[in-house]
Amino acid sequence: MRNDIKQFAYTQPLPGLAATEALGARIAAGLGRGDAVALEGDLGAGKTALARAILRALGVSGAVPSPTFTLVQHYETPGLKVGHYDLYRIEDPAELDELGLDEALQEGAALIEWPERAAGRLPADALQVRLEAAGEGRLAWLAGPARWQRIFPERTDVR
């Protein structure tokens, strides 16, 4: 549904990791099969920390290593399979086929660090999360389909 795309925007200060945890829990509450979350931001912006928060909220209790070298880590949470991708090291967007992104989205959800490297191969209805440094903490800027307003009703901006 193209008219459902990027109709929602939300900004949230993340002064510390506790705020990242809380944001992760909210994103987890809205996440379902077929959903992609594009985690944008410079090196060290807090993308893995937010992915970890989402996975923990979904019930992952063990370690959540950064997929820096493996490129993808797969999780089976009680209600949802989740693939956690880090595309920083891919050299060609075609590598996404080998990494099974389409299959991951058929079976569950995908959290994707460095989505810019995927060059337009991500679903158009991905929830986009941009993280920026703000003092000691971070600022999160979210945009995506209008259905995310259900999760973030308090400050939305339909453009």
81 interacts with Mg ion by CB under 5 A: no
- Residue 84 and residue 97: Cα distance in Å, rounded? 15
Binding mask 100-139 for Mg ion (x = CB under 5 A): -------------x--------------------------
3-state secondary structure of 101: helix
Instruction: Match 């453009």 to its residue by tokens.
Output: 159
Binding mask 42-81 for ligand ATP (x = CB under 6 A): -xxxxxxx--------------------------------
Considering only 17, 25, 80, 146, the residue that binds ligand ATP (CB under 6 A) is: 17
73 interacts with Mg ion by CB under 5 A: no
- Least distance (Å) between residue 18 CB and ligand ATP: 8
- SS3 helix, strand, coil % of the chain, rounded to 5? 30, 30, 40
- Residue 27 and residue 39: Cα distance in Å, rounded? 12
Of 48 and 73, which has the nearer Cβ to Mg ion?
A: 48
- Written as six digits, the tokens of 49 are 């920390």
- Least distance (Å) between residue 8 CB and ligand ATP: 21
- Compute CA distances 158 → 37, 106, 126, whole Å: 19, 28, 16
Give me the phi and psi of 148, to 5 degrees please. Answer: -70, -10
Of 84 and 149, which has the nearer Cβ to ligand ATP?
A: 84
Distance, C-alpha 132 to centroid of its chain: 15
Chain residues that interact with ligand ATP, rule: CB under 6 A: 14, 16-17, 19-20, 41, 43-49, 113, 137-138
Chain residues that interact with Mg ion, rule: CB under 5 A: 47-48, 66, 113
